[in-house]
Amino acid sequence: MIIGVESTAHTFGVGVCHKGKVLANVRDMYHPAIGGIIPIDAGKHHTAVAEKLWNQALRDAKITEKEIKGIAFSYAPGLAPCLLAGMHFVKAKAKLLGMPVIPVHHSIAHLEIGQSLGAKDPVLLYASGANTQIIAYAGQRYRIFGETLDVGIGNCLDKIARAMGFPFPGGPELEKLALKGMYHELKYSLKGMDVSFSGLQNQALQLRDKGMSPEDVACSVQETAFAMLVEASERALAHTGKKELVLGGGVACNARLQEMCRLMCTARGVALFCPGKPLLVDNGAMIAYTGELLYKKKLFISLDALDIAPRQRTDQVSVKWK
Ligand code: AMP
Ligand code: MG
């Protein structure tokens, strides 16, 4: 029984996993009063809700603290005040309960949880707020085959939605608007395997200022940005010869992105694995699930060595549990 704590950005989550099965997955999201995430405030939010969510996860899993074998937490990458809130909470719990702590890299957890659906050796399209990467495993590392050169896809969508007056997170609002919109050609920016969204974002904001309807802006941005992601993913599949695509990150909740991925995968004879929303967005269950993989290899960290790594990249992690 492994408990996992997620706190890299806007969401504080606690999950419980046992033999690869998710027994609990609860979360609480920080909502800024206006504008985008204020890291210090998000950290305070996490500290305020931590104990309540911890207890809720134990209740949902129908276990007591004594049955837990290890505490996993996301130490990277993310916003420092948010990561610290999670780390301090986990450290106190580990001290109190005398349990080992398992450090889990957040982006890798998005990938591993997709493999709980049955994928063996996939390419991952990780499309979240701040992170946008195309990842696959090769030689003891999760390699980044392509990534955003500037803003993350979710942040891009959120910023455009904010300019239209929608609160954070705006991605789901754009998805609804896009259903009623018409497509206009926008900047398609795929450089090698990397994508860039800042030009598209600015163009969308300018077109909105010039009077293009929110529906048309939403539809055009989605079609353009998602096509870039699907093309880069397809290239990674072609290059690696892998036959599975896993989706991860909050933006992967988008039905149009899922549909575009499905079309590409069907055409290529590739299997598509898309977790349900509670496992796509930032969550504690994926941290617990990945923590269990590390636990089996005794990849613990001593309390004195506990630390966060806000900018650690996916490909800097030596994968010792595979
Ligand atoms: P994450 O950082 O992985 O928790 O994902 C959060 C991001 O996902 C935010 O930028 C949201 O706007 C975005 N998001 C969530 N649901 C959707 C959706 N249905 N369509 C587009 N973006 C979404
Ligand atoms: Mg994430």
Are the C-beta atoms of residues 254 and 222 closer than 8 Å to each other? yes
Residue 36's pLDDT is 82
* Contact assessment for residue 31 and residue 320, using Cβ atoms and an 8 Å cutoff: no
Of ligand 1's listed atoms, the one at least distance from the Cα of 161 is 12
Record the pTM: 0.94
Kindly indicate the confidence band of residue 35, based on its pLDDT and cuts at 50, 70 and 90.
Answer: confident
Site to probe by mutation for ligand 1, drawn from 79, 253, 256, 280 as the one with most ligand atoms within 8 Å of Cβ, is: 253
Contact between 214 and 173 under an 8 Å Cβ cutoff? The reply is no
State yes or no: pLDDT of 34 exceeds 90: no
115 has pLDDT over 90: no
> Average pLDDT, whole number, for the chain?
96
Range with the poorest average pLDDT among 23-27, 47-51, 109-113: 109-113
The pLDDT confidence band at residue 21, using thresholds 50, 70 and 90, is very high
Residue-level pLDDT at 33: 86
Distance of CA 10 from the midpoint of ligand 2 (Å) = 10
- Ligand 1 pocket test, candidate residues 74, 157, 247, 280, most atoms within 8 A of CB: 157
Provide mean pLDDT across the span 10-19. Answer: 97
263's CB contacts (< 8 A; 6+ apart) are none
